[in-house]
Amino acid sequence: MIDDFLKLDIRVGKVIQVEEAPDLRKPVYKLTIDFGAEIGVKRSLAGVPPNYKKEALLNQLVLAVVNFPPRQMGKHLSEVLTLGVDDAEGKCVLIKPDWDVFLGSRLH
């Protein structure tokens, strides 16, 4: 079982751009996330509205799986899976480090 978990490459990235994706069925933000020199800048679609305003996400650290294949959603490509959990109302809350860490740091 631990071997399956270790196959996931979960890294810390900083949200550097947030855009709306009004053409998708559910409210979704297009996040541009910087994972540092090793991984680089990747895009992710995150169903986090209404818990987060676009401005509040800028410069936030987030955790994402970076070794899944890209996924096409409508006309948008999601390159990484940004991680979150449901709150009491079933809305997504992002998983983030408690304090600043190096971009690209791996979860272990």
In a domain, 77, yes or no: yes
In a domain, 106, yes or no: no
Enumerate the H helices of 19-85 as residue ranges.
Answer: 54-57
- Torsion angles phi and psi, residue 12, rounded to 5: -90, 135
Give which of 59, 50, 51 is closest to 31, Cα–Cα: 59
In a domain, 108, yes or no: no
Domain count, the chain: 1
In a domain, 104, yes or no: no
**For the segment 79-94, what is each residue's pLDDT rounded down to a tens digit?**
999 999 999 999 999 9
Residue 67: pLDDT band by 50, 70, 90 thresholds? very high
To the nearest 10°, the Cα dihedral for 16, 99, 66, 1?
A: -160
Contacts of 55 (CB under 8 A, 6+ apart): 18
Domain region containing 27: 2-94
In a domain, 73, yes or no: yes
**For the segment 6-46, what is each residue's pLDDT rounded down to a tens digit?**
899 999 999 999 999 888 888 899 999 999 999 999 999 99
Q: List the CATH number of the domain containing 62.
A: 2.40.50.140
